[in-house]
A and B are shown apart, each in its own frame.
Chain A
Protein backbone atom coordinates (compact mmCIF):
# COMPACT_ATOMS: atom_id res chain seq x y z
CA UNK A 1 0.00 0.00 0.00
CA UNK A 2 1.53 3.27 -1.13
CA UNK A 3 1.16 5.83 1.62
CA UNK A 4 1.41 9.53 2.27
CA UNK A 5 1.60 10.64 5.90
CA UNK A 6 0.92 14.03 7.43
CA UNK A 7 0.51 15.24 10.98
CA UNK A 8 -3.23 15.90 11.22
CA UNK A 9 -2.74 18.77 13.66
CA UNK A 10 -4.29 21.08 14.49
CA UNK A 11 -1.24 23.29 14.04
CA UNK A 12 -1.61 26.71 15.61
CA UNK A 13 0.69 29.55 14.52
CA UNK A 14 0.62 33.25 15.44
CA UNK A 15 -0.03 35.77 12.71
CA UNK A 16 3.17 36.87 11.00
CA UNK A 17 5.11 33.74 11.94
CA UNK A 18 6.28 30.91 9.70
CA UNK A 19 4.03 27.86 9.42
CA UNK A 20 5.80 24.60 8.61
CA UNK A 21 3.86 21.64 7.25
CA UNK A 22 5.43 18.24 6.70
CA UNK A 23 4.69 15.15 4.63
CA UNK A 24 6.41 11.79 4.12
CA UNK A 25 5.72 9.25 1.43
CA UNK A 26 6.46 5.57 0.99
CA UNK A 27 7.16 5.09 -2.74
CA UNK A 28 10.72 5.93 -3.78
CA UNK A 29 9.62 6.02 -7.42
CA UNK A 30 7.38 9.05 -6.85
CA UNK A 31 8.11 11.93 -9.21
CA UNK A 32 5.58 14.71 -8.60
CA UNK A 33 4.50 16.33 -5.37
CA UNK A 34 1.70 18.78 -4.67
CA UNK A 35 0.29 20.88 -1.88
CA UNK A 36 -3.43 21.63 -1.94
CA UNK A 37 -5.25 24.04 0.35
CA UNK A 38 -8.81 23.26 1.39
CA UNK A 39 -10.99 25.73 3.22
CA UNK A 40 -13.78 24.28 5.34
CA UNK A 41 -16.66 23.15 3.16
CA UNK A 42 -14.79 23.89 -0.06
CA UNK A 43 -12.85 21.89 -2.63
CA UNK A 44 -9.06 21.48 -2.69
CA UNK A 45 -7.12 24.07 -4.68
CA UNK A 46 -3.54 23.67 -5.82
CA UNK A 47 -1.04 26.05 -4.24
CA UNK A 48 2.33 24.46 -5.01
CA UNK A 49 3.85 21.71 -7.11
CA UNK A 50 7.44 20.47 -6.93
CA UNK A 51 9.31 17.90 -8.97
CA UNK A 52 13.02 18.28 -8.18
CA UNK A 53 15.03 18.12 -4.98
CA UNK A 54 15.47 21.46 -3.25
CA UNK A 55 13.29 24.49 -2.69
CA UNK A 56 10.65 26.12 -4.85
CA UNK A 57 9.33 29.53 -3.87
CA UNK A 58 6.08 31.22 -4.90
CA UNK A 59 5.28 34.38 -3.01
CA UNK A 60 4.92 33.57 0.69
CA UNK A 61 4.97 29.82 -0.01
CA UNK A 62 8.06 27.60 -0.26
CA UNK A 63 7.91 23.90 -1.04
CA UNK A 64 10.89 21.74 -0.12
CA UNK A 65 11.59 18.27 -1.50
CA UNK A 66 14.11 15.68 -0.33
CA UNK A 67 13.69 12.49 -2.34
CA UNK A 68 16.43 10.64 -0.46
CA UNK A 69 14.54 11.11 2.79
CA UNK A 70 11.13 10.79 1.06
CA UNK A 71 10.06 14.05 2.60
CA UNK A 72 8.24 17.10 1.28
CA UNK A 73 7.36 20.22 3.24
CA UNK A 74 5.53 23.51 2.82
CA UNK A 75 6.58 26.73 4.52
CA UNK A 76 4.23 29.69 4.74
CA UNK A 77 5.98 32.93 5.63
CA UNK A 78 4.25 35.92 7.23
CA UNK A 79 1.22 33.74 8.01
CA UNK A 80 -2.15 35.45 7.69
CA UNK A 81 -5.53 34.49 9.19
CA UNK A 82 -6.67 33.77 5.61
CA UNK A 83 -4.10 30.94 5.53
CA UNK A 84 -6.19 29.04 8.10
CA UNK A 85 -7.25 25.90 6.25
CA UNK A 86 -6.46 22.23 5.85
CA UNK A 87 -3.37 21.54 3.75
CA UNK A 88 -3.27 18.32 1.78
CA UNK A 89 -0.06 16.75 0.56
CA UNK A 90 -0.45 14.71 -2.63
CA UNK A 91 2.06 12.47 -4.35
CA UNK A 92 2.00 11.12 -7.89
CA UNK A 93 3.21 7.60 -7.20
CA UNK A 94 5.44 5.77 -9.64
CA UNK A 95 4.43 2.82 -11.79
CA UNK A 96 3.00 4.63 -14.80
CA UNK A 97 -0.57 5.24 -13.63
CA UNK A 98 -1.36 8.93 -13.25
CA UNK A 99 -2.91 8.72 -9.82
CA UNK A 100 -2.42 10.93 -6.79
CA UNK A 101 -2.27 9.60 -3.26
CA UNK A 102 -3.31 12.14 -0.66
CA UNK A 103 -2.29 12.49 2.96
CA UNK A 104 -4.99 12.98 5.56
CA UNK A 105 -4.29 16.71 5.71
CA UNK A 106 -2.96 19.10 8.36
CA UNK A 107 -5.39 21.61 9.83
CA UNK A 108 -3.64 24.97 10.22
CA UNK A 109 -4.98 27.82 12.33
CA UNK A 110 -3.37 31.27 12.23
CA UNK A 111 -4.08 33.23 15.39
CA UNK A 112 -4.38 37.04 15.06
Chain B
Protein backbone atom coordinates (compact mmCIF):
# COMPACT_ATOMS: atom_id res chain seq x y z
CA UNK B 1 0.00 0.00 0.00
CA UNK B 2 2.04 2.97 -1.30
CA UNK B 3 -0.55 5.72 -0.71
CA UNK B 4 0.09 8.62 -3.12
CA UNK B 5 2.99 8.22 -5.56
CA UNK B 6 4.46 11.10 -7.57
CA UNK B 7 6.94 10.97 -10.42
CA UNK B 8 9.46 12.32 -11.06
CA UNK B 9 10.96 13.42 -7.73
CA UNK B 10 13.23 16.03 -9.32
CA UNK B 11 13.20 17.77 -12.67
CA UNK B 12 15.11 20.60 -14.32
CA UNK B 13 13.57 22.24 -17.38
CA UNK B 14 14.55 25.04 -19.68
CA UNK B 15 12.14 27.90 -20.27
CA UNK B 16 9.57 26.89 -22.87
CA UNK B 17 9.93 23.14 -22.41
CA UNK B 18 6.92 21.03 -21.52
CA UNK B 19 6.50 18.20 -19.08
CA UNK B 20 3.88 16.16 -17.24
CA UNK B 21 3.94 15.38 -13.54
CA UNK B 22 2.36 12.07 -12.71
CA UNK B 23 0.35 11.18 -9.61
CA UNK B 24 -1.29 7.89 -8.65
CA UNK B 25 -3.10 6.80 -5.49
CA UNK B 26 -4.02 3.32 -4.35
CA UNK B 27 -6.48 4.28 -1.59
CA UNK B 28 -9.56 4.25 -3.85
CA UNK B 29 -10.13 7.95 -3.14
CA UNK B 30 -12.52 9.95 -5.29
CA UNK B 31 -10.87 13.36 -4.93
CA UNK B 32 -7.37 14.36 -6.03
CA UNK B 33 -5.48 17.64 -5.88
CA UNK B 34 -2.39 19.40 -7.20
CA UNK B 35 -0.65 22.04 -5.08
CA UNK B 36 2.46 24.10 -5.40
CA UNK B 37 4.57 25.25 -2.46
CA UNK B 38 6.98 28.15 -2.68
CA UNK B 39 9.51 29.14 0.03
CA UNK B 40 7.84 30.66 3.07
CA UNK B 41 4.40 29.98 1.71
CA UNK B 42 1.79 27.42 2.39
CA UNK B 43 0.27 25.17 -0.18
CA UNK B 44 -1.63 26.78 -3.02
CA UNK B 45 -4.18 24.77 -4.96
CA UNK B 46 -3.58 24.57 -8.71
CA UNK B 47 -6.33 22.18 -9.84
CA UNK B 48 -8.46 19.53 -8.26
CA UNK B 49 -10.69 16.67 -9.32
CA UNK B 50 -13.67 15.90 -7.12
CA UNK B 51 -14.31 12.62 -8.91
CA UNK B 52 -13.27 10.67 -11.98
CA UNK B 53 -14.14 12.65 -15.09
CA UNK B 54 -14.26 16.07 -13.44
CA UNK B 55 -11.63 18.74 -12.93
CA UNK B 56 -11.78 22.29 -11.67
CA UNK B 57 -9.47 25.26 -11.21
CA UNK B 58 -7.97 26.17 -7.90
CA UNK B 59 -6.26 29.36 -6.76
CA UNK B 60 -3.32 29.39 -9.24
CA UNK B 61 -4.28 27.50 -12.44
CA UNK B 62 -2.61 29.70 -15.06
CA UNK B 63 0.07 27.90 -17.06
CA UNK B 64 -1.12 24.42 -16.08
CA UNK B 65 -3.47 21.76 -17.39
CA UNK B 66 -4.64 18.55 -15.73
CA UNK B 67 -6.05 15.19 -16.73
CA UNK B 68 -7.93 12.78 -14.49
CA UNK B 69 -6.99 9.67 -16.43
CA UNK B 70 -8.97 7.29 -14.22
CA UNK B 71 -9.85 7.01 -10.55
CA UNK B 72 -6.22 6.34 -9.58
CA UNK B 73 -4.32 8.83 -11.71
CA UNK B 74 -4.25 12.61 -11.92
CA UNK B 75 -1.57 14.30 -14.03
CA UNK B 76 -0.40 17.92 -14.17
CA UNK B 77 1.02 19.33 -17.40
CA UNK B 78 3.17 22.39 -17.97
CA UNK B 79 2.87 23.23 -21.67
CA UNK B 80 5.53 25.95 -21.80
CA UNK B 81 7.49 26.14 -18.57
CA UNK B 82 8.43 29.53 -17.11
CA UNK B 83 10.90 30.37 -14.30
CA UNK B 84 7.91 31.44 -12.16
CA UNK B 85 6.84 27.79 -12.13
CA UNK B 86 9.95 26.78 -10.20
CA UNK B 87 8.43 25.23 -7.10
CA UNK B 88 7.71 22.04 -5.20
CA UNK B 89 4.58 20.32 -6.46
CA UNK B 90 2.47 18.06 -4.25
CA UNK B 91 -0.32 15.75 -5.24
CA UNK B 92 -2.92 14.73 -2.66
CA UNK B 93 -6.02 12.58 -2.47
CA UNK B 94 -8.97 12.43 -0.11
CA UNK B 95 -12.19 10.59 0.53
CA UNK B 96 -15.32 11.42 2.42
CA UNK B 97 -16.93 14.54 3.76
CA UNK B 98 -14.13 15.28 6.21
CA UNK B 99 -11.70 15.89 3.30
CA UNK B 100 -8.65 14.52 5.11
CA UNK B 101 -5.96 14.79 2.46
CA UNK B 102 -2.96 12.51 2.05
CA UNK B 103 0.08 13.79 0.22
CA UNK B 104 2.67 12.38 -2.11
CA UNK B 105 6.39 12.97 -1.58
CA UNK B 106 6.47 15.90 -3.99
CA UNK B 107 8.22 16.88 -7.21
CA UNK B 108 10.96 19.50 -7.03
CA UNK B 109 10.92 21.43 -10.30
CA UNK B 110 13.42 24.03 -11.44
CA UNK B 111 12.83 26.04 -14.61
CA UNK B 112 15.94 27.80 -15.89
Picked from B42, B58, B106, the residue with its CB within 8 Å of the CB of A43 is: B106
Picked from A8, A32, A44, the residue with its CB within 8 Å of the CB of B43 is: A44
Prevailing SS type, chain B contact patch: strand
A20 to B25 Cα, complex, angstroms: 34
**Contact present for B58 and A99 (CB under 8 Å):** yes
Stretch at the interface among B13-21, B60-68, B75-83, B93-101: B93-101
Q: A8-B40, A99-B45, A102-B42 are in contact. Are A44 and B90 (CB under 8 A)?
A: yes
Picked from A99, A100, A104, the residue with its CB within 8 Å of the CB of B41 is: A104
**Contact present for B43 and A34 (CB under 8 Å):** no
In the complex, A49 has a CB within 8 A of chain B = yes
**Contact present for B98 and A100 (CB under 8 Å):** no
Q: A99-B48, A104-B42 are in contact. Are A43 and B99 (CB under 8 A)?
A: no
**Contact present for A100 and B40 (CB under 8 Å):** no
**Contact present for A105 and B42 (CB under 8 Å):** yes
Residues of A near B50 (CB, < 8 A) are 97-98
Picked from B90, B99, B105, the residue with its CB within 8 Å of the CB of A92 is: B99
A97 to B50 Cα, complex, angstroms: 8
**Contact present for A98 and B90 (CB under 8 Å):** no
A90 to B105 Cα, complex, angstroms: 18
A32 to B43 Cα, complex, angstroms: 17
21 contacts between A and B (CB under 8 A): A8-B40, A32-B98, A42-B106, A43-B90, A43-B103, A43-B104, A44-B43, A49-B98, A88-B42, A88-B43, A90-B43, A98-B97, A98-B99, A99-B33, A99-B45, A99-B48, A100-B101, A102-B35, A102-B43, A102-B44, A104-B42
